[in-house]
Structure 1
Amino acid sequence: MKKLLAALAVAMILTGDAWAADVRATPEDAQELVKTAVAYLKKHGKDRAFKEFQNRNGPFIYKDLYLFVYDLEGTCVAHGADPSRVGKNYLNVADEDGTLYTKEYVELAKTKGAGWTRFRFRNPATGKVEPKKAYTERVGDVLVGSGAYTTD
């Protein structure tokens, strides 16, 4: 048993980069997750959808992706990685570079309905602040989004 654990530890060290690449989702994955979530929200309504979006073992968690939902005033109404954010307003909260990411989501939702934003955010999988590219889409009075952590 000790030999097996040692071999697994060595394999993890040697293949760390490959493993990291395997658990990281792409921006295209994030967009597809949002589109799937939007369809689910339209079909099942807010209560059921928001509960499912926050289910850590549910279909809306993929690799390092999760969903977030904000109302058009910047208040979080669902968050797949950090449910403690729900009920709090993030409209004027900035990332480390000063980007008001929630404000950008809201403006994008109000003006174009859907699109991409870039900012820096703590990755719950690594615990590190990393660049992130997020896709958001407006559904009535909320926006649904997901973002992929990137290297750029």
Structure 2
Amino acid sequence: MKMFVRFMLYSLLLNWAAVALAQTPAPATVPAGYEEEAARAAALLRTAVDLYKEEGDAAFAKFSRQGEFTDGDLYVYVLDRQGHMLAAGGPSAALIGRDVSPLLDDELKQHLAAALQQPDSDTIHSDEYRWKNWQDGKVERKRVYYQLYDDKSFAVGYFVQRSSPDAAQQLLEDAAQAIQADPQGTIARINQLDPEFNRDDLYVFVADLDTQSMVAHGYNRRLLGIHFPDMKNRDGMRVGQKLLDAAEAGETSVSYTWPNPVTGKDEEKQTLIRKVGDYLVAVGYYQESKTAAQ
């Protein structure tokens, strides 16, 4: 009976969180396309805090095992104000009882210190940092929601595996300006995977319109030097020719499926394109593919 009540409470909180977070004006709080994950994280966090209010430290055991307080890659973790891990349902369970501060880099230490200085309240705070995703083993952006109660920080986070259209547009702007100012230098930097042109799942690639060849690629160096019109995706679509035709027609974007370097899956990609002198400069952002049933 108690489990049923908690399930109903969780369902109600999920609905509440979806409404509350959808009304949040700050776009940094909920990355575009991650409204569902944000709602689930907030709901799980509220449920955990409510259980702690009922059971005190006895709730930590429930947070620290698979089941009620894990939801896919979401899990609850709890720190005291000194940075000691008190409970964790994911891979951080190995840190229970330890001060996590010495294990963090300087940037993460600053994030943690700022979070633990927040006063106890009913307010849910949010932050973003980079952390290893236990499901794919990759270091990715993570958006975390946390609440301070009883001098403890209760937190739940989700991984952000797809960048926003605005971020892709900004990278295209930066790359186009750099190509305009110094084509050869910028091409070399892109091919050296300079982080200025390689941001999470966003990267720049460049085709020479005179030679019709790929001269720069910020992710897959095996594509360098290929005849650009012949570049195909796994479905056999001549993506390179499609991009060239779109640029010739004055279009600014093209959609097709392509492997996402973060998830490793074929996903729908919207690629933004721009002619800069003798070059076609491109940056694409990914959208999770939907099946026909969806």
Fold in common (TM above 0.5)? yes
Q: Does the CA contact (< 8 Å) of 2:200 and 2:262 recur in 1? A: no
Per the alignment, do residues 85 and 94 of structure 1 end up closer, same or farther by CA in structure 2, a change over 3 Å counting? closer
Cα distance in 2, alignment partners of residues 39 and 143 from structure 1: 13
Matching residue's letter, 1:145: A
Higher strand share: 2
Deviations along 1:87-141, one digit per CA (max 9) or x if unpaired, are 11131333244432211211122231x5010000111222211111110101111
Q: Which one of the candidate residues 227, 230, 245 is aligned to 1:92?
A: 230
Cα distance in 2, alignment partners of residues 77 and 37 from structure 1: 14
Identity among equivalent pairs (%): 27
Q: Does the CA contact (< 8 Å) of 1:94 and 1:101 recur in 2? A: yes
Which 5+ residue runs of structure 1 have no aligned equivalent? none
Per the alignment, do residues 50 and 57 of structure 1 end up closer, same or farther by CA in structure 2, a change over 3 Å counting? closer
Q: Which one of the candidate residues 130, 134, 139 is aligned to 2:276?
A: 139
Q: Does the CA contact (< 8 Å) of 2:205 and 2:282 recur in 1? A: yes
Cα distance in 2, alignment partners of residues 91 and 26 from structure 1: 27
1:121 aligns with 2:258: yes
Per the alignment, do residues 98 and 139 of structure 1 end up closer, same or farther by CA in structure 2, a change over 3 Å counting? same
Q: Does the CA contact (< 8 Å) of 1:74 and 1:103 recur in 2? A: no
Using CA pairs below 8 Å that are at least 6 residues apart, which structure has the higher relative contact order?
A: 1
**Structure 1 length normalisation: TM-score?**
0.80
Root mean square deviation of aligned Cα: 2.8
1:18 aligns with 2:158: yes
- Deviation at residue 81 of structure 1 after TM alignment: 0.2
Matches for 1:49-64 after TM superposition, within 5 Å: 49-64=186-201
**Structure 2 length normalisation: TM-score?**
0.44
Cα distance in 2, alignment partners of residues 142 and 13 from structure 1: 40
Question: In structure 2, what is the equivalent of residue 32 of structure 1?
Answer: 170
Q: Which one of the candidate residues 182, 202, 213 is aligned to 1:65?
A: 202
Structure of greater Rg: 2
Q: Does the CA contact (< 8 Å) of 1:65 and 1:147 recur in 2? A: yes
Matching residue's letter, 2:162: R
Question: In structure 1, what is the equivalent of residue 55 of structure 2?
Answer: none
Q: Does the CA contact (< 8 Å) of 1:27 and 1:134 recur in 2? A: no
Moved more, 64-73 or 115-124: 64-73
1:148 aligns with 2:285: yes
1:41 aligns with 2:166: no
Cα distance in 2, alignment partners of residues 84 and 97 from structure 1: 19
Which 5+ residue runs of structure 2 have no aligned equivalent? 1-84, 94-132, 136-141, 144-156, 290-294
Q: Does the CA contact (< 8 Å) of 1:74 and 1:102 recur in 2? A: no
Aligned length in residues: 145
